[in-house]
Structure 1
């Protein structure tokens, strides 16, 4: 393996395309191929565009197969990857790998083609001919309905070198090139492989590949150099010309302020590019002169908005000191610059777009008169090239007008929407890791990250599908298999499943929690009467101390397993903290009552108003085992020694009983920043007489421990966040705080707050401490249970304490934690006490076919709140994300007879180790380009790699293959089941040979 790509010869390219299409109905994995009405094309230059968009100069326009994949997915404007005088091995040595990071906003540290200029030319010519042939053969549209746009850089001297100048000339007229003539000759020699292509059509394919160009210059290029290059391209080369502009035209203050306002304050850059790049005062008259020059020569002129934006590498994002930003953060900068240019030129200057466009905003751009639109970041995300298909379907067949100006008012409206639209705002807190903590396996790598990261491993795909199909009772039954509290977790669960949901890479995660609640609400009436205990388990009688979420879950699981179980609760009601503390505006009493009924339904007994002092008392009364499930009710350590502060839980209990009884005054300070602190602050806002609620915390909001959702709700309710303040003294109504700054990261990974020596006074008629609720240890001490330094019990893997037959679950063994983790503890104890098997339901809804999950891929939607369509991607059945996001199509999903799931085969010769597949692989540290079974084209590539993979010995059709597994190399007869290879590996090699022979180099 190496990071050097090997362009395919034209015959292999076409054999791959036609063979895959006729056997699979796909082309480079693309199944949705929009057909265009030839009458719908928009005039541009001297050509026509059937759709006003395509791939930007970058990873998606580097190889012929990338361009073909874009075309069949509906793209019609192709900004070819930039060529320059430095190329091939010389340039590749300057590009650190991985070089792409598109997990949210995009970044890259590469800039022009890694091929030689000659190879790049041949790739573009091959793609040009291939797209012409496919347009006619498959009826995808007018063979002349697409445009190739050259991109060259970065200075006039380099552009005038023979190889770059020859590149321009050869794409203007490729008739004298070997690449064009070989492609035409192949087509004529293989007419029998086509139904709709004949020799006359092949002869009609024009060798004039491109008559337009985008001028790309490096940051700091002087304005006179930019103008000289453009003048050369216009006057000497006769090309329709776009000048690619940098976002630095906005000025430092505008760019910094805009990104900060949208939550991108962590993106680091200084003024030097803004000072050194093209200035507005120079740009405007230059554009006027060049536009006039083009009019004189009958050519089109425009600006390309924008280039990527250089920012500093500060967190090890990519192996470089500087990287180039793209995607949704670039959208804001680009749109703001487009607004400025549109006003300056009264809409008369043509704008070609590249800056964060996708299926949800491109229509607005095009309707505003901004087109063609090119994209990179969106098609580097899951769904890949097929994201183009959705966009193509969105444009009407009659959408064929010529450019008639940019509509300035429409651009103003887009800018206003950008400032209000949550899609262009970064979440308050850093986006957590979206990878599961497992190693990417060589084979069978499909997984449902949501189910894996759920503490109770619910069959989330199963109940999502059941709700979608209206089978609410089935959905609730699936939930109840592992979750005793569907109403509570359907309302207040922090839903870590959503963090790992692959749908995050589209718009936002699937609303799993809401679907769970929908299943509970609509399935309860049918499911509840059918619940009953299993046959009784002899010799077990279990007592549970505490009737909160943990205790209720233990009671539910044990009683459904047939265990005699009794819950002892010191309060007069069940539900613990959820019922007695969490405000009604967060969860309704009816939801809590429903879950209690579900937990009672299996036959557990409950004794309320009973205060148990010791587990030993219960063991002596005949219970075989005792499960301690008390909550974290004890106040945390004092914030300020001797200061009179209200305790968070006491306040919330009083608020829940009677908000009017809470006498807080006008100004409330809440110390803390966890979820409880957010509840306190929001509750305080609802207390009569309170005017201001201020949350005081020693770190900034990005480092607050509360969930993103809770932070946002508090802000919506008008809570004021006082960041970087640490309470120091409280006298009367004055809370004095140390002003802090963030230093180096501590053990939690958050930057440690350090005092600056300054103080700030905060008006506070009441101060509520919401920090570090603790577990009351009296039951443990009375029972002889050993405690750790935090005052929590020492437990084994079954959660048994140091005292035999005494277990601990929930907050009283973890410290303050979530309801779903309490349920997870309850499941662990249930398995330990009676051997109950929760795994029987772990894969209840995995499908045998792939059509359903794959049909939901690559489509973005505005309807994220809908509880009718879940937007689930079906990862439990088919992941294949690495196949979708590879711009070079180097990861291929192979259907293997004899195996349940398709297997990913990595094609080494097409990979340049850009790293994009690793960004989106759901496995922590997963690198499909290194970790998946690899098909090698040459022995040299095989020997230079450490990948597990295979290479045919002799003819591809033969049975002898050189295989490396776990570092060991041997030759195997893959047709022999007893050859010694693992079954999945052998079958995958055979299937690749028999079903996908076009993957091998010819």
Structure 2
């Protein structure tokens, strides 16, 4: 595909907007417009401003449709994408693609507009007219309530060039510009298209498009050059002027310490930018001089913070050597620059702000006197442009006049940012949000939470029931696939929450909590309705082991009508959850409730019974045997001297004795997984223990434990000893080799490199949580074939071993795993025995308007059942790729006969920034993998995308590429093109929008 964008004509843009709004009530896919009230107007540069926010000079102000979408949702201050002497194809050849990655903090390697400067100017003029008429037509506010701010760079020679000089002059007054004249005439000739726009309204559109400029200079630009550029814009051109200032003004040491303290220690940057860039001691007098010059000319002057922050590419984030950091990690640095300037200028230096602004901090920024505020990163995430409306609403304020910047308020924002969970880096890297499957060409809406759940629970369905207080009904949905609602509602590893799209907003929907809420409130009523199923299946099944996998297998077999007996060697069901996981993690009473479900269904349970031989069970009439025996063989930790206690043995003793153990004052736990965290937390609660140290050879960031497990261990006072490799235990001391982090290895983690340094830690007891092993000898004794690593060899689809009728499930199959993975295994074996699926899907869908009303809304965590209303209903509507594309190059098309809108990619509107790839729930990049609309047949030669180009609209005749083949298709002809894609093409043509 070509990365060069093709701007649309003014006629096309206007007709697209009007048709789409009339048919669907949306504008470029945006559902919820912001309607401004003039009583909240501010003023800057002598012009009104309905909201003090809008898109930064970046991907959201490059094309006309971007600016329109931003305006529709509440933006009123537009920092237009930077123009410079180098442009078009010459610039495109220098910018590697993809150029944006915004899954968490954001990085980009883009520069200025990728259009030619005259094209960029045309885009801005077209946008000027469209915003004027849309304000009236859709009653969004005053046509004069928004402002354009041009961004120019990067040196005085380039700015003085004929190309840029023409741009500057035209943006100041476009009366003689052909594009301006043509747009105005088209509107006058087609005034009948409007309901609320009159000829007089169109005639009133003034040619003075822009009276303010922001100077964007490259890193390393000398202060004298910056001042010369500013003087040129102020004295020669008469522009109100902002100068971009960078965090490099803070000095390397401050920036490095701030980043490290906030968890961004992995972000690499040298000190050369700090040395080469404008120095603070030079900046202050320069800014004072320019303020004075502007005051003499009755112009406004200020600084723009910030011009992003250059960092090194270290983990292949983008195909470049250096990239610019923005978003949440930049906020504290940017505000620190604002703090210094606010103090040193007594609040009188105006600051235009960008750098990590979002819903959670924007009110504080604006209330401190810093505005206008422009944004990019937050708008690159799901919700997209729609996020602006929420921010515009919370900033509404009558008679707000700029009187200066409150330096104390800014200082408070800086200090808060350094600890704010919305800005500090999570203790561990975010797990991948991707599903393993590739995105389908059609019907790509799927809930990633359900796909990420090993048992594919119908999460969106039961969340909605919980939100309505229908707990019993929610229990029906949950227990269809999950027989352990209390256990999983309490300690499930919740991979569903890791996949939740809400992670890209603030926090995932707390799905596990909602499951527990349903169980606690719906259990009794649901259980009363559960009868004992009749025995309808031949034979009997024995389940050896009463942990989660065994309990699940018994549940599904019994529910399907089979006679089932569980043989458990201990005195109660629950396995490791019951006998090892501490009571402070999960109460025994919760496990009892899940066990009671099996009792109610009529599962036979033989406690305190150890089964050694499958043959014994066969002799007792059990023709099907499921081995759910767990992985209890201790893992080994090799030390040169001394021994370590096994973690599971310690946890069992701790639980059996209520923590009354004699293990000394100083305890060291070796390991970095969830079991290590449980062990360390239990040790902290053990009688007589004063210090608990957790030793791991990598850092916390690269420990395998879940983030919440790490956080709870930290809260309990466990002291983490990172980058240490245990050597020996002698005389109450653990000797370790000190390690250091190396490069990224194949697993995606930093490798560790041994150093010559030695460290000693006080250790009365050393506990090793280094993994458990499967019971190989038991399998071999029962003629079950095993792998070289001693694991049972089974059929992946059925989990049946080489011994007919014998199945292996749970931890005993692959080693320690999660509870829900054990449930998955138990169900899989049960289905193999019964010969059919043992659960059904619930396909209840949320109303589209309910989902759209939730999109783009960020909020703090809710409590109780209201938490469920944060669900974005991804199984009904996803459209992440639509929302996050600045250019609107992914379009939701309404197709007759199809339940939901289908996504089509528009080749001519895409510059391959790659942002949609970050947020597509599938392991795909929609800009490459979705069915693509090509404006012209010849455009297909620059792409390998599957898609089509229209040859004849009346006959519905197209050139198509499908599964690598290219062919001509005409509606009604026999074709290998699937019916759904035929309908999609027909819908695109019938819409007449593209």
Normalised-by-shorter TM-score class:
over 0.9
SS of residue matched to 1:150 = strand
Q: Which residue of 2 aligns with 1:133?
A: 133
Residue 114 of structure 1, CA deviation? 0.5
Residue 56 of structure 1, CA deviation? 0.2
Q: Which residue of 1 aligns with 2:18?
A: 18
Q: 1:855 aligns with which of 837, 853, 856?
A: 853
Q: Which residue of 2 aligns with 1:27?
A: 27
Q: How do 1:724-743 residues align onto structure 2 when only pairs under 5 Å count?
A: 724-743=723-742
- Does residue 1:556 correspond to 2:549, yes or no? no
Residue 533 of structure 1, CA deviation? 4.2
Per-residue CA distance 1:381-422 (angstroms, 9 max, x = gap): 1111111111122232x4332211111221122122212211
Q: Which residue of 2 aligns with 1:809?
A: 809
Residue 748 of structure 1, CA deviation? 4.0
Q: Which residue of 1 aligns with 2:334?
A: 334
Q: Tell me the distance in 1 between the aligned counterparts of 2:55 and 2:743.
A: 41
> Contact 2:937/2:951 (CA < 8 Å) preserved in 1?
no
Q: Which residue of 2 aligns with 1:684?
A: 683
Q: Which residue of 2 aligns with 1:470?
A: 469
SS of residue matched to 1:953 = strand
Q: Tell me the distance in 1 between the aligned counterparts of 2:27 and 2:744.
A: 48
Q: How do 1:78-157 residues align onto structure 2 when only pairs under 5 Å count?
A: 78-157=78-157
Q: Which residue of 2 aligns with 1:792?
A: 791
Residue 978 of structure 1, CA deviation? 4.4
> Contact 2:956/2:989 (CA < 8 Å) preserved in 1?
no
- Does residue 1:991 correspond to 2:987, yes or no? yes
- Does residue 1:270 correspond to 2:275, yes or no? no
Residue 567 of structure 1, CA deviation? 0.6
Structure 2 unaligned spans of 5+: none
> Contact 1:514/1:867 (CA < 8 Å) preserved in 2?
no
Per-residue CA distance 1:2-49 (angstroms, 9 max, x = gap): 111111111111111111111111111111111111232101111011
Residue 981 of structure 1, CA deviation? 2.9
> Contact 1:557/1:827 (CA < 8 Å) preserved in 2?
yes
Q: Tell me the distance in 1 between the aligned counterparts of 2:65 and 2:257.
A: 41
> Contact 1:510/1:864 (CA < 8 Å) preserved in 2?
no
Q: Which residue of 2 aligns with 1:933?
A: 931
Q: How do 1:500-649 residues align onto structure 2 when only pairs under 5 Å count?
A: 500-640=499-639, 643-649=642-648
SS of residue matched to 2:487 = helix
Which shows bigger deviation, 977-986 or 896-905? Answer: 977-986
Residue 977 of structure 1, CA deviation? 6.9
> Contact 1:532/1:560 (CA < 8 Å) preserved in 2?
no
Q: Tell me the distance in 2 between the aligned counterparts of 1:81 and 1:580.
A: 62
> Contact 1:7/1:910 (CA < 8 Å) preserved in 2?
yes
Query: TM-score w.r.t. structure 1 length?
Result: 0.97
Which shows bigger deviation, 183-192 or 774-783? Answer: 774-783
Q: Tell me the distance in 2 between the aligned counterparts of 1:850 and 1:427.
A: 33
Q: Tell me the distance in 1 between the aligned counterparts of 2:622 and 2:70.
A: 68
Q: Tell me the distance in 1 between the aligned counterparts of 2:659 and 2:509.
A: 38
Q: Tell me the distance in 1 between the aligned counterparts of 2:748 and 2:932.
A: 36
Q: Tell me the distance in 2 between the aligned counterparts of 1:865 and 1:329.
A: 28
Residue 959 of structure 1, CA deviation? 2.1
Q: Tell me the distance in 1 between the aligned counterparts of 2:96 and 2:532.
A: 61
SS of residue matched to 1:601 = helix
Per-residue CA distance 1:263-290 (angstroms, 9 max, x = gap): 1111111111111001111011111111
Residue 192 of structure 1, CA deviation? 0.6
Q: How do 1:98-497 residues align onto structure 2 when only pairs under 5 Å count?
A: 98-396=98-396, 398-497=397-496
- Does residue 1:964 correspond to 2:961, yes or no? yes
SS of residue matched to 2:939 = helix
SS of residue matched to 2:330 = helix
Residue 865 of structure 1, CA deviation? 5.1
SS of residue matched to 1:788 = coil
Q: Tell me the distance in 2 between the aligned counterparts of 1:124 and 1:890.
A: 18
Q: Tell me the distance in 2 between the aligned counterparts of 1:802 and 1:945.
A: 49
Q: Tell me the distance in 1 between the aligned counterparts of 2:419 and 2:951.
A: 61
Residue 466 of structure 1, CA deviation? 0.9
Per-residue CA distance 1:219-243 (angstroms, 9 max, x = gap): 0000111111111111111111100
Q: Which residue of 2 aligns with 1:655?
A: 654
SS of residue matched to 1:422 = coil
Which shows bigger deviation, 637-646 or 724-733? Answer: 637-646
Q: Which residue of 2 aligns with 1:973?
A: 970
Q: Alpha carbons of 1:973 and 1:33: their partners in 2 closer, same or farther (altered >3 Å)?
A: same
Q: Tell me the distance in 2 between the aligned counterparts of 1:813 and 1:634.
A: 13
Q: Which residue of 1 aligns with 2:908?
A: 909
Q: Tell me the distance in 2 between the aligned counterparts of 1:895 and 1:700.
A: 49
Q: Which residue of 2 aligns with 1:63?
A: 63
Per-residue CA distance 1:721-771 (angstroms, 9 max, x = gap): 111111111112111111122345556443443321221111111111111
Per-residue CA distance 1:75-130 (angstroms, 9 max, x = gap): 00000000000011111111111111111111111110011110111110110111
Q: Tell me the distance in 2 between the aligned counterparts of 1:176 and 1:312.
A: 46
Q: Tell me the distance in 2 between the aligned counterparts of 1:747 and 1:372.
A: 45
Per-residue CA distance 1:455-488 (angstroms, 9 max, x = gap): 1111111111111111111111111111111111
Q: Tell me the distance in 2 between the aligned counterparts of 1:86 and 1:865.
A: 53
> Contact 1:639/1:769 (CA < 8 Å) preserved in 2?
no
Per-residue CA distance 1:119-173 (angstroms, 9 max, x = gap): 1111101101110011111111111111100100000110000110110100000
> Contact 2:480/2:840 (CA < 8 Å) preserved in 1?
no
Q: Tell me the distance in 2 between the aligned counterparts of 1:246 and 1:749.
A: 32
Residue 867 of structure 1, CA deviation? 3.5
> Contact 1:672/1:697 (CA < 8 Å) preserved in 2?
yes
Q: How do 1:819-838 residues align onto structure 2 when only pairs under 5 Å count?
A: 819-838=819-838
> Contact 2:507/2:861 (CA < 8 Å) preserved in 1?
no
Per-residue CA distance 1:360-388 (angstroms, 9 max, x = gap): 21111111111000000111111111111
> Contact 1:44/1:402 (CA < 8 Å) preserved in 2?
no
> Contact 1:615/1:779 (CA < 8 Å) preserved in 2?
no
Which shows bigger deviation, 591-600 or 978-987? Answer: 978-987
Residue 660 of structure 1, CA deviation? 4.6
Per-residue CA distance 1:849-890 (angstroms, 9 max, x = gap): 522222211111113555313211111011111111111111
Query: TM-score w.r.t. structure 2 length?
Result: 0.98
SS of residue matched to 1:757 = strand
SS of residue matched to 1:699 = coil
Residue 968 of structure 1, CA deviation? 1.8
> Contact 1:854/1:874 (CA < 8 Å) preserved in 2?
no
> Contact 2:31/2:852 (CA < 8 Å) preserved in 1?
no
Residue 943 of structure 1, CA deviation? 3.1
> Contact 1:724/1:739 (CA < 8 Å) preserved in 2?
yes
Which shows bigger deviation, 529-538 or 500-509? Answer: 529-538
Residue 612 of structure 1, CA deviation? 1.1
SS of residue matched to 2:343 = helix
SS of residue matched to 2:151 = strand
Q: Tell me the distance in 1 between the aligned counterparts of 2:3 and 2:838.
A: 45
Q: How do 1:42-61 residues align onto structure 2 when only pairs under 5 Å count?
A: 42-61=42-61
Alignment length, in residue pairs?
Answer: 992
Q: Alpha carbons of 1:816 and 1:763: their partners in 2 closer, same or farther (altered >3 Å)?
A: same
Which shows bigger deviation, 370-379 or 725-734? Answer: 725-734
Q: Which residue of 1 aligns with 2:764?
A: 765
> Contact 1:647/1:768 (CA < 8 Å) preserved in 2?
yes
Q: Tell me the distance in 1 between the aligned counterparts of 2:38 and 2:659.
A: 70
Per-residue CA distance 1:489-537 (angstroms, 9 max, x = gap): 1111111111111111110211111111111111101101112344423
Residue 212 of structure 1, CA deviation? 0.2
Q: Tell me the distance in 1 between the aligned counterparts of 2:744 and 2:671.
A: 19
